[in-house]
Chains A and B, each alone.
Chain A
Amino acid sequence: MTLANPSDFDGNLQPQGWLRYFSFSLDHKVIGLQYLVCGFIFYLIGGALAGVIRTELISPISDFVSRETYNEVLTLHGTVMIFLWIVPVVNGAFGNYLIPFYVGARDMAFPRLNAVAFWLIPPAGILLISSYFIAGAAAQSGWTAYPPLSLTTPAAGQVVWILSVLLLGGSSIFGGINFIATILKLRRPGLKLMMLPMYCWAMLGTSVLVVLSTPVLAGTLILLSFDIIAHTGFFNPTMGGNVVVYQHLFWFYSHPAVYIMVLPAFGLVSEILPIHARKPLFGYTTMVYSIMAIVFLGLIVWAHHMFTSGTPPWMRLFFTIATSFIAVPTGIKFFNWLATLWGGKIALNSAMLFSCAFIVNFVFGGITGVALAQVPFDIHVHDTYFVVGHFHYIVYGGTVFVIFGSLYHWYPKFTGRLLNEDLGRLHFLLTFVGFNLCFAPQHWLGLNGMPRRVAEYDPAFTTLNQVSSVGALLMAISTLPLLINVVVTAINGKEAGDNPWNALTSEWLTSSPPPVENWHGEAPLVTEPYGYGQHQETKA
């Protein structure tokens, strides 16, 4: 692979204007926005699937879609939201757009690999969605695809699902390699690791997790496909196979996947808060070490998803303790963010509203998470709506809120125009109220006896399920002000200028939108990305 000059990228062969977003562009900014828009389209699809689930659950009997369709819908919902929306956007979109700026480079380390990584996603997504229409029946065994269920449901859909996830995993690994090389090797001279903005550290940690854990999922799914296609017996108990081994291997990836989804969000919040609070990021060094601790602990806690799977007692105990201790580095980050806000001059705009709501939601999800780590607690609520509520607080209340906040924060950089604040606040209000209405009641439902992934339930739970569905409706409506906002401001939004937030990180030290080579002149050396308030101090 040759390392091309970014200025070559816009040569005669590269389309200009909006067309370049549909091309094999090598510009990291174009690729970042490709990830963002592509991911958002899949968010709408995954949201529609969630709409089907919540509509089915308005009544306690299975009456909206067939039971098989319901299982297909919940499988696709999980897969789309994780592999096609959250992971690509929070890593691929913002990572590709921001990391080269932060390290003072003109592009990623491997621009072509970068484009390949992106262009694996649309075909994989289309393949996955089309399995519903073409293969006759899409995968029905949940996003976890536990055998033997995944061996007995319609094979074509399950194989297409595996193929699609393998492609997306490959894309993720290529992206991870690129981020590691860019952050470690492509920094401009003079820029030391401890001068990097926190998002770089988050992406470095995330990429390490991607590189170490995604291949294990890939290998596992290959074995699963052998079981389906070649009738081997790795995970088939009738042939002497072991179904629990699949779960171990699956969660060896899929628990770190949670950190692959939330660590970048931690990083993005660490960029947004100091700028709008006009204060340095509190405790930079402990933030860095806590990311490292989360990466390390994140790799050794997977079996807490399997407390009722027949795991031996010592294993239950070990994973309880390891999981609980993740709360410590995570807690450090939250206290540091609060300390960042303390004594600042906080502008409570849309970006900040979403970021602060992230703190509230994630603390809630984190507390239920520590509870879930305790074996005796988990034995009761495992595989119930309590868990559904918990992880939506983490991945939606955590990561998706941060994605929206980041959109309001970086949209002026992407386009040169500011998003409308009134529509932004409306978007926030609808999302926040809808989200909590949708997912908070699910904790009670789980504690009181509603298992997850069911199309029918005890009629005693009807009211709260209807409340939850109303919340989901509000969340669906909340995308309207966002879409209107993006379209309207793209046409005649307020000019943002180069640096509307008066920020110090290096993506703001260039024009908006930035030129192909990122800076018109040389790359700036930002030694203190969070140096707010220092000039005044010398004056005072």
Chain B
Amino acid sequence: MTSTTPLQDSVTIEAGHSPAGEGHGDFRLFGLATFLVADGMTFAGFFAAYLTFRAVNPLPEGGIYELELLLPTINTVVLIISSFTFHRAGKECRAGQLGASRLWLAITGGLGAIFLAGQMVEYFNLPFSLTDNLFASTFYALTGFHGLHVTLGVICIAIVALQTRQGGRISASDHFGLEAAELYWHFVDGIWVVLYGILYLL
């Protein structure tokens, strides 16, 4: 039977009331999550390339895989802590404590900046440059692509922090921007942990 029963909760199309927006629930986070799956696949491709290179392409003489561990390990800890501080910022925001939320956001952004600074220090102290050998190229490509993500994340955090001020777009009830930035930040952190594992520890 083909039934064409009318829609129960009618979808109004009056001006200003969107049937696809508020009425339907918000799936922008769902869209972002799907995008992050795609983004994660880009990293997966890079990781696969790196692991294959490493397994089958011997480095020329003098090439090494060993990297200084201290700085990247500190960086890893910094980034993991920043995930928790961001989580805290989100909690405060939902509780209506916008001031506290802003403070935690600032801490998170600061940790992100420390990570980037640490990355820069590491770059300047490495014994190899971009085109030295396959490992060097892959190292810079992977960490650089991730660093780009962190940079974007820090910018997002700054924007979100500004929006939590009085009269900004973010409030206790409407905080999509903050949640999106948080999801993205956790993703970037997760990628780093994998990257740290296969690039530095392996």
| A contact set with B: CB distance below 8 Å | 1-8, 104-107, 109-111, 113, 173, 176-178, 180-181, 184-186, 188-190, 211-216, 218-220, 222-223, 226, 230-234, 239-242, 245, 248-249, 252, 504, 509, 517, 521-528, 531, 534
Contact A223 B49, CB 8 Å, known A211-B37, A525-B5: yes
**A233/B137 in contact, CB under 8 A:** yes
Among the stretches B28-36, B95-103, B107-115, the one at the interface with A is B28-36
CA distance A8 to B14 in the complex (A): 9
Q: Determine the chain A residues whose CB is within 8 A of the CB of B130 once the complex forms.
A: 230, 232
Can you name 13 A-B pairs with beta carbons within 8 Å?
A2-B21, A5-B21, A186-B20, A212-B41, A222-B145, A223-B49, A226-B137, A233-B131, A245-B53, A252-B45, A522-B10, A523-B7, A531-B1
Write the nearest CB–CB distance from B64 to chain A, whole angstroms. Answer: 14
Map CB proximity to A onto B126-162 as digits: 1 under 8 Å, 0 otherwise. Answer: 0000110110011001000100000000000000000
Q: Which residue of A lies closest to B44 (CB)?
A: A216
B56 sits at the interface (CB 8 A): yes
Q: How many residue pairs between the two chains, A and B, have CB atoms under 8 Å in the bound complex?
A: 174
Contact A106 B30, CB 8 Å, known A188-B7, A220-B45: no
User: In the complex, which of the residues A104, A177, A233 contacts B31, with contact meaning CB atoms closer than 8 Å?
Assistant: A177
**A189/B7 in contact, CB under 8 A:** yes
Write the nearest CB–CB distance from A480 to chain B, whole angstroms. Answer: 40
Contact A234 B137, CB 8 Å, known A212-B41, A527-B2: yes
Chain B contacts with A in 1-60, Cβ cutoff 8 A: 1-11, 13-21, 24-28, 30-31, 34-35, 37-46, 48-49, 52-53, 56-57, 59-60
Q: Which residue of B lies closest to A4 (CB)?
A: B18
Write the nearest CB–CB distance from B35 to chain A, whole angstroms. Answer: 6
**B7/A522 in contact, CB under 8 A:** yes
**B2/A531 in contact, CB under 8 A:** yes
| B contact set with A: CB distance below 8 Å | 1-11, 13-21, 24-28, 30-31, 34-35, 37-46, 48-49, 52-53, 56-57, 59-60, 130-131, 133-134, 137-138, 141, 145
**B31/A213 in contact, CB under 8 A:** no
Q: Determine the chain B residues whose CB is within 8 A of the CB of A528 once the complex forms.
A: 1-3
Contact A509 B4, CB 8 Å, known A226-B137, A249-B49: yes
Q: Determine the chain B residues whose CB is within 8 A of the CB of A214 once the complex forms.
A: 38
**B57/A240 in contact, CB under 8 A:** yes
**B133/A240 in contact, CB under 8 A:** yes
CA distance A231 to B134 in the complex (A): 11
Contact A181 B31, CB 8 Å, known A215-B38, A242-B56, A522-B6: yes
**B52/A242 in contact, CB under 8 A:** yes
Question: Given A178-B31, A525-B5, list of 17 further CB < 8 A pairs?
Answer: A3-B26, A181-B27, A181-B30, A185-B24, A186-B24, A188-B7, A211-B38, A216-B41, A216-B42, A219-B46, A220-B45, A222-B145, A226-B141, A232-B141, A234-B141, A523-B11, A528-B1
**B45/A105 in contact, CB under 8 A:** no
User: In the complex, which of the residues A176, A188, A190, A504 contacts B2, with contact meaning CB atoms closer than 8 Å?
Assistant: A504
**B42/A215 in contact, CB under 8 A:** yes
Write the nearest CB–CB distance from B39 to chain A, whole angstroms. Answer: 7
Q: Determine the chain B residues whose CB is within 8 A of the CB of A107 once the complex forms.
A: 20
**B4/A526 in contact, CB under 8 A:** yes
CA distance A181 to B59 in the complex (A): 45
**B35/A5 in contact, CB under 8 A:** no
Q: Which residue of B lies closest to A223 (CB)?
A: B141
CA distance A242 to B41 in the complex (A): 21
**B1/A109 in contact, CB under 8 A:** no
**A213/B30 in contact, CB under 8 A:** no
User: In the complex, which of the residues B38, B45, B131 contacts A177, with contact meaning CB atoms closer than 8 Å?
Assistant: B38
Q: Determine the chain A residues whose CB is within 8 A of the CB of B37 once the complex forms.
A: 211-212
Q: Which residue of B lies closest to A523 (CB)?
A: B7
Contact A527 B42, CB 8 Å, known A233-B131, A233-B133: no
